[in-house]
Amino acid sequence: MATGSARGLRGDTWLGRWLVLPYVVVVLSFVVAPLVLLVVNAWGDTGIDGFADYFDQAATTRVLIVTIVAAAAVTVLSMLIGGFLGWLLRTTTSTSLRLLILCSLTLPFWLGSVLKMYSIQVLLEHNGLINRALMAMGLTSEPKEMLYTQGAVVVGMVYQMIPFAAIPSYTAFLAVDLDLVRASETLGASRLRAFTSVVMPLALPGLMAAAAIVYVISLGFFVTPLVLGGVTSPFAASLIWSSVFDYSDLQGAAIASVVLLLVGYLVLLLAYLGVGRRRLYAVLDQ
């Protein structure tokens, strides 16, 4: 009887290995192999000297700094707005308000990136809706140059990243027992004090994981800086595209890609060390 059970267990083990084989093949073919080829192309004939040349060039380092700083600004703004919406979803008792917020968060996923960017372009252009509203209210006497600026790029990226911040924030706030908040208010704490001293410590790991994911996604934006920023907002993805299609510099594009990947992996590593694997994977599964 025991021998039959052992044979059945071994059979189930081999069956599981065969079932997981297609997944392993896909991961090796579309994740591991491209990364290996990317590193090989970046290393090329120059080795570490190619990376040294990358950081010696003022243009490439400026692009990298612009990308890192803009992604950080987008992450902060997205988490502030998304955190507020997530907390509102957690605490509101109005079904209509909850439905309105959920529809607002899911609507961007129904539209293409180019369509969304051109919609924002219409709002920010010289004679756009925002400039006309400002002049109608007497806040300015002439249109402001808002398009093709770093601010326009940040606005466009924040618009797209709010759902990625709000939904994980809502999940993080679900771990907070609202009775604890009510108890702290009963003991004399203000609503703000209750939020900062009770809610934030409990939800902070989940919020940090969400911020890390938002930041990593923001590093790879291509269409938004191109449409809303133009030459005034060079991003790493634009540099990679230009290196390949304008200058046929495959090694330069590979080096820029590896550097960008390392920045993203460093952020994920810090998030992993700070909040743990379980919370980070929970955000990735959203």
* Burial of 51 from C-beta contacts in 10 A (0-12 / 13-18 / 19+): middle
CB 86 within 8 A of CB 166: yes
Q: How far apart are CA 155 and CA 117, in angstroms?
A: 10
Residues 159 and 273 in one domain: yes
The distance from CA 91 to its chain's CA centroid, rounded to whole angstroms, is 25
Q: Is pLDDT above 60 for 79?
A: yes
CA 78, CA 108: separation in Å to the nearest integer?
A: 14
**How confident is the model over 150-166, as pLDDT tens digits?**
889 999 999 999 999 99
Model confidence at 117, pLDDT cuts 50, 70, 90, reads confident
Q: Say yes or no: 14 and 58 in one domain.
A: no
Rounded CA separation 93/105 (Å): 18
pLDDT of residue 277: 63
Helix axis angle for 95-106 and 58-91, nearest 10°, is 160
**Are 22 and 88 contained in the same domain?**
no
Same domain, residue pair 17 and 140: no
- Domain check: are 268 and 144 in the same one? yes
Cβ neighbours for 245, distance < 8 A, ≥ 6 positions apart? none
**DSSP tag of 143:** -
Per cent of the chain over pLDDT 70 is 91
Instruction: State the sign of the Cα–Cα–Cα–Cα dihedral 20, 217, 245, 242.
Output: negative
Higher pLDDT, 10 or 161: 161
* Mean pLDDT for the stretch of residues 121-142: 84
pLDDT of residue 227: 85
Rg for the chain (alpha carbons), in Å? 24
Mean pLDDT of 204-224: 90
pLDDT at 71: 95
Query: What's the pLDDT score for residue 279?
Result: 59
Question: Mean pLDDT in the chain?
Answer: 85
Q: Do 125 and 73 share a structural domain?
A: yes
For residue 102 the two structure tokens come to 């959920």
Residues 4, 60, single domain; the answer is no
pLDDT of res. 165: 94
Residues 4/6/8/10 CA torsion (nearest 10 deg) = -150
Report pLDDT for 1: 47
Residues 273 and 131 in one domain: yes
Please, which pLDDT band fits residue 11 given cuts at 50, 70 and 90?
Answer: low
Q: Do 119 and 223 belong to one domain?
A: yes
pLDDT at 282 (0 to 100)? 57
Looking at the fold, whether 74 and 22 belong to one and the same domain comes out as no
Each residue's pLDDT tens digit, 226-252 = 888 877 778 899 889 988 988 889 899
Using a pLDDT cut of 90, give the percent of the chain over it.
36
Mean pLDDT throughout 99-116? 84
- Please indicate, yes or no, whether residues 12 and 146 belong to a single structural domain of this protein: no
The boundaries of the domain holding residue 32 are 1-43
126 and 214 housed in the same domain: yes
* Overall number of domains in the chain: 2
* CATH code, domain with 160: 1.10.3720.10
